[in-house]
Amino acid sequence: MYSIHTDDFNLGYTLSCGQVFRWEKNDWWTGVVNGAVIRAKQEDTELLIDSSIDREFIWKYFRLDDDMEMIYSDINKDSLMDSLIRKYRGLRLIRQDPWECLVSFICSSNNTIRNITYSIKCICERFGREIEKGYYSFPAPEVLADIHLGDLRSCKLGFRAPRILNIASMIANSEFDLYGIKYLPYREGRNELVKIAGVGNKIADCVLLFAFEKLESFPVDTHIEQIMDRFYGDNWGSAKKSKKRYETAEFARRYFGRYCGYAQEYLYIEALGLKLKYIQMNQL
């Protein structure tokens, strides 16, 4: 076990903002990353880590190298973003594994966080390697390329199952260079990702932001669309949904600038929080 001193870092916000699906909170947060179990807990500015993974990896994984003062001053364009930065200060993007991230967001299409979390867990338990009791690695493309469609049925993936097997085979057979996308500029990377069946701009943007370090990516889902309409004006109302979301993302890139991916996460966690409040109120 070791501890890392952090500034402007909030572990709970970082792991609860919909970017990653394999962390669970009990007393400690527990997740499987890069084939190893990580247990993490924050005590003020100290991040406690219990894992075989070294501190360099953790530092990179949680993007502790990002200069948040600089990023905050860059995206702080108005009173809304100013209040969100104060409210969720320390929320960081995560540098995820591209393959796990791609599969996770193929699962995300027309799906809820709850169901996505279930499906990913199921994929790992069925096809991953057991690292320690109850914790499984995420199966490599070569592993998923060899399984049968019927084997994925129980993971409740529906129409997403063949998409996952298809891209697993393409990567395993070197017909698609997923890892090379890291070295492409944002738009070229997106052009490559949307060639995958089942990957549109939204899913491509998530993978580019969460795995390929393209901070100028701005994924627009239903929550982001609503909050953008509400605070920045619905200037794209008549367009069809996918077109409208594309226009919203282009606007956000111009408006928030080169770190708009960070702005997007602060908007997203606020939308999630509002939704949770609504659900809790309904349950009273």
Partner DNA sequence: CTGGCA
Partner DNA sequence: CCAGG
By beta-carbon proximity to DNA, the closer residue of 58 and 101 is: 101
By beta-carbon proximity to DNA, the closer residue of 154 and 173 is: 154
- Segment holding 51, helix H or strand E: strand 46-51
Look up tokens 């939204």; give the residue: 202
Task: Build a one-symbol-per-residue string for 205-234: x at contacts with DNA by CB under 7 A, - elsewhere.
Answer: -x---x--------x-xxxx----------
Q: How far is CA 215 from CA 12, 206, 208, 226, in A?
A: 21, 10, 8, 21
- Segment holding 202, helix H or strand E: helix 201-210
Other CB atoms within 10 Å distance of the CB of residue 40: 23
How many residues bind DNA, per CB under 7 A? 29
Task: Build a one-symbol-per-residue string for 134-173: x at contacts with DNA by CB under 7 A, - elsewhere.
Answer: ----------------------x-xx--------------
Which residue in 120, 264, 266, 270 binds DNA (CB under 7 A)? 264
Footprint on residues 91-120 left by DNA (CB under 7 A): 108, 110-116, 118
Q: Is the separation of the CB atoms in 210 and 103 below 8 Å?
A: no
Other CB atoms within 10 Å distance of the CB of residue 161: 21
Residue 282, interface with DNA (CB under 7 A)? yes
Q: Is the separation of the CB atoms in 256 and 268 below 8 Å?
A: no
Residues that bind DNA (CB under 7 A): 17-19, 21, 108, 110-116, 118, 156, 158-159, 206, 210, 219, 221-224, 264-265, 268, 275, 279, 282
